[in-house]
Amino acid sequence: MGSDPWSRPTVQDLKQVLDAIGRSDEDHQREVERLDLAVPAEIITTRGNTIAAMTREISRNGIGLIHRGAISCGDVTMKMASDTKVFEYRVKIEWCIPCEYGMFLSGGRFLGRTDQNLLSPPSDN
């Protein structure tokens, strides 16, 4: 784990947390398939605070994140970047719980894209 308590979790941090909590064999009766996705992200709260994060999984409807520091439930802006583009979405954070190594897991659903998006979030169509 990094020495800065607010630094972005690394892929190794994500792996350690997921290994520590294990994968559930329980059927969560999810409506859509989720895909593992570990890319850097930023969460911008309604107060304008930026929280460095790493994605855990993504679906057509929402996204799972890992980060240091708790996030209040509610609407946020989330940015993810590829080598050539920045993707920006509005997300409603629906839950946030502490986990191993002083990290937090959170999850939210896509509300839509922002005007700065180059691509829209996955759709049900």
Q: In whole angstroms, what is the distance from residue 104 CA to residue 29 CA?
A: 23
Residues 6+ apart with CB under 8 A from 13: 1, 2, 54, 66, 101, 103
Question: Residue 112 above 70 pLDDT?
Answer: yes
Residue 61, pLDDT score: 92
The mean pLDDT of 97-108, rounded to a whole number, is 92
pLDDT greater than 90 at residue 89: yes
Interatomic CA distance for residues 54 and 39, integer angstroms: 6
What are the sequence ranges of the domains in the chain? Answer: 11-19+34-113
Q: To which residue do tokens 């909590």 refer?
A: 21
Alpha helices in 49-120 (DSSP H): none
The residue length of the chain stands at: 125
Give alpha helix (H) positions in 9-77: 11-21
Give the tens place of pLDDT for each residue, 32-45. 676 777 888 999 99
- State whether residue 48 is helix, strand or coil: coil
Architecture of domain 11-19+34-113: Beta Barrel (2.40)
